[in-house]
Chains A and B, each alone.
Chain A
Amino acid sequence: MHIFQNIDKDTRRRIHKLLTNPTALLGFVLLTGFIIVAAAAPILAPPADPNTPYIIPRLGFLTEPQPPSAENIFGTTEGQYDIFYAVVWGTRTAFKIGLLVVFCTTLIGIIVGAIAGYYRGITDEILMRMTDVFMSIPFLIAVIVLTTILGKGLDKVIIALIAFDWMDTARLLRGSVLQAREEEYVQAARSLGLSDLRIIVIHILPNTTFPVLIQTTMRIGTLVVVASGLSFLGLGAPQDYADWGQIISYSRNWQGLEFWYTIFFPAMGMVLFVLAWNLIGDALRDIFDPRLG
């Protein structure tokens, strides 16, 4: 855990501040709740076939949604998909998408940002213009077009999200690397004749990645919303796959008040999940942005 040894006092103080901030605390509580639900999914909603746990069980073929009952505590959607099951397993889908995308985009962003910031000059210029180009297509549109071209499906959505979400990380990291490379410890490392790769990975990155890492993690909420949006439009998760956007799209044809449960429960899942990340993110901004004190 090289990264954490290198955290300076200032960052440590901020982390302490974060853990004692009421807004952030509420966020952490919500998030912990979701982690528990995701982890305990097989117990909360045991799948009929353990090999295909993400397939929402169908309890019949009636078109009309059925209200909450003893067996289906959240009710069923059109086509009798169990809402409770979908919400529980949808939590896992959300984490899977969010974590996977953030991991990959952070990696790409760090590589691009570090190279651009460290080598500067023409390399920097080319990489940053490339970043501009990727940012010139509105995010949702870019994800939609790439998903469609790749042939729809959740895995395609994940690839598309990764392809168009690394730019902010790259820019942020480039900025910090540009600063860091002028610092004495880097100059010292260079005068010792260390290789560029070694200087970047061992010396610069541990000192610059941490704030970037926090910022990108906060993107998880947004990424899950976009992925669900695509499933909602019918471009993401397949027909009976446990995904929040997917299950919400089943409520579209049933907009009467008596069918409130078809939207309420999956919506609660989504909103609280995003809220958890936003609460933590909001507290982070306060702590890391000294201007607002």
Chain B
Amino acid sequence: MQQGMNGKKIPVLTYIVRRFIMIPVTLMGVTLLVFSMMQLLDPYQLLSAYVSSPAELKGQNIERLITKYGLDQPLPVKYARWLGQVAKGDLGWSESASMPVGKAIRTKFPLTFELAFYAFFPIILGGFWLGKMTAVRHNSIFDHSTRMAVIIGWSFPDFVFGLLVILVFYSWLGWFPPGVLSNWASQVVASTEYSNYTGVLTIDALLNGRFDIFWDALRHLMGPVTTMTYLWSAFLIRITRSGMLEVLHKDYIRTARAKGLPEKMIINKHASKNAMISVLTVAGRLVIYLLTGTVIIETIFNRPGMGKFVAFAAQQLDYAGILGGTLFFSLVLVLGNLIVDVLYAVYDPRIQLG
């Protein structure tokens, strides 16, 4: 992204403005791409992606509905009408969730956000620490064994590792049950005296002053969080390690050594700070990956978040559901990348923009 067309340096502000201008273009492109894919559906399947409630399909003349939604119109007209609907947030009726797609996203996204939030910290802290240590003890047994563990971790498909976590921590030890809440807790949450402020279970539990429910929700989060931590730490360890190794070979570190500074101070004060820059960029990307990459984890651990919503919609051939979910995930990805790029441009003055 930052590499310019001809490698010329441009001011940060110009870069940021240009980056913002590109967003509508990219989003337009995404809707065009999704719309093109929709055209592969036959008219009846396509219709199911348009209707705003199941009642509409009952007793209605299909031909009349096709006319109503303009499905017999030429492509550009169809696209414009569909885009207008999408822009209003009307994404149709999700058959698999039995509610409008917009509402489904609003109720399911908080759970995905919650999972990403709790997975983020162990990954960042553990990954950064291990990555730093492997770089400091470059080529030691510790370095090699961590590296091996990283490659092996990276080689586990999420559904395989997730199933193993369930096997060990649920079937065998009985510690981390799948799902989001125990039966008694979901009854409390569904009752009238309990208010769902945000949809994020742990936060709502705290706001309601129910620490038992908070603890219960946390226990259900442990399985997927463990899985994600193991799989994604690999990614962070690798980045931190190479960032740190690069820094450790820099002249100013040699100078610090020559001055006779204690090694601990060189690592913690001089090297870590600069290695943090690469970690910060990765941290931003990690958030995006965690938010958009939960399809299989949520399915395995039976958490009704956005990822499971898309998987289930696909299994049920709920076209409105998957198309809406796809648009939503793309929005998260595009905006996430924008935020990361802008923060990076502002934070690191050395970066070449273009």
Residues of A within 8 A of B (CB): 124, 129-130, 132-134, 136-138, 140-142, 144-150, 175, 221, 225, 228-229, 232-235, 245, 248, 251-252, 255-257, 260, 263, 267, 270-272, 274-275, 278-279, 282, 289, 291-293
* Binary CB contact string for chain B from 228 to 254 against chain A (1 if under 8 A, 0 otherwise): 000000000000001001100100000
| Given contacts A229-B158, A263-B160, A275 and B293 within 8 Å (CB-CB) | no
19 contacts between A and B (CB under 8 A): A132-B29, A136-B330, A137-B330, A140-B293, A140-B295, A141-B330, A149-B40, A150-B40, A229-B158, A229-B296, A233-B314, A255-B171, A260-B167, A263-B163, A267-B160, A267-B164, A271-B152, A272-B155, A291-B242
* Binary CB contact string for chain B from 294 to 314 against chain A (1 if under 8 A, 0 otherwise): 011001100000000011001
B residues 151-187 near A (Cβ < 8 Å) are: 151-152, 154-160, 163-164, 166-167, 170-172
**Hey, which chain B residues are within 8 Å of A144, CB to CB?**
295, 310-311, 314, 322
Q: CA–CA, A187 to B155, complex, Å?
A: 44
A148–B314 touching, CB < 8 Å = yes
Q: Which of A141, A245, A291 has the largest count of B CB atoms less than 10 A from its CB?
A: A141
A136–B315 touching, CB < 8 Å = no
A257–B160 touching, CB < 8 Å = no
Q: CA–CA, A141 to B292, complex, Å?
A: 8
Q: CA–CA, A245 to B299, complex, Å?
A: 14
A246 CB, min distance to chain B CBs, angstroms = 11
B38 within 8 A of A: yes
**Hey, which chain B residues are within 8 Å of A245, CB to CB?**
157, 159
Q: CA–CA, A274 to B161, complex, Å?
A: 13
B296–A271 touching, CB < 8 Å = no
A149–B30 touching, CB < 8 Å = no
A131 CB, min distance to chain B CBs, angstroms = 10
Give which listed residue, B41, B152, B157, contacts A149 with CB less than 8 A: B41
**Hey, which chain B residues are within 8 Å of A248, CB to CB?**
159-160, 163
* Binary CB contact string for chain B from 18 to 30 against chain A (1 if under 8 A, 0 otherwise): 0000100111011
- The secondary structure that dominates the A interface is helix
Residues of B within 8 A of A (CB): 3, 5, 22, 25-27, 29-30, 32-34, 37-38, 40-41, 147, 151-152, 154-160, 163-164, 166-167, 170-172, 242, 245-246, 249, 292-293, 295-296, 299-300, 310-311, 314-315, 317, 319, 322-323, 325-326, 329-330, 333-334
Q: CA–CA, A260 to B168, complex, Å?
A: 10
**Hey, which chain B residues are within 8 Å of A263, CB to CB?**
160, 163-164, 167
B335 CB, min distance to chain A CBs, angstroms = 10
**Hey, which chain B residues are within 8 Å of A145, CB to CB?**
34, 37, 310, 314, 322-323, 325-326
Give which listed residue, A130, A257, A267, contacts B171 with CB less than 8 A: A257
**Hey, which chain A residues are within 8 Å of B41, CB to CB?**
149
B122 CB, min distance to chain A CBs, angstroms = 22
**Hey, which chain A residues are within 8 Å of B325, CB to CB?**
141, 145
Given contacts A133-B33, A229-B157, A233-B315, 16 further A-B contacts (CB under 8 A): A129-B25, A133-B30, A138-B329, A144-B311, A145-B322, A147-B314, A149-B37, A149-B41, A232-B159, A233-B299, A251-B163, A255-B166, A257-B171, A263-B160, A274-B156, A275-B155
**Hey, which chain B residues are within 8 Å of A291, CB to CB?**
242, 246
**Hey, which chain A residues are within 8 Å of B29, CB to CB?**
129-130, 132-133, 136
A136–B26 touching, CB < 8 Å = yes
- 5 A-B pairs closest in CB distance: A133-B29, A275-B155, A138-B292, A274-B155, A148-B314
Q: Which of B27, B159, B245 has the largest count of A CB atoms less than 10 A from its CB?
A: B159
Q: For residue A225, which residue of chain B has the nearest CB? A: B157
**Hey, which chain B residues are within 8 Å of A149, CB to CB?**
37-38, 40-41, 319
Q: CA–CA, A175 to B4, complex, Å?
A: 11
**Hey, which chain A residues are within 8 Å of B293, CB to CB?**
138, 140
B175 CB, min distance to chain A CBs, angstroms = 14
B333–A278 touching, CB < 8 Å = no
Q: CA–CA, A142 to B159, complex, Å?
A: 18
Give which listed residue, B37, B310, B319, B333, contacts A146 with CB less than 8 A: B37
Q: For residue B316, which residue of chain A has the nearest CB? A: A148
**Hey, which chain A residues are within 8 Å of B322, CB to CB?**
144-145, 148
**Hey, which chain A residues are within 8 Å of B33, CB to CB?**
133-134, 137
**Hey, which chain B residues are within 8 Å of A228, CB to CB?**
157, 159
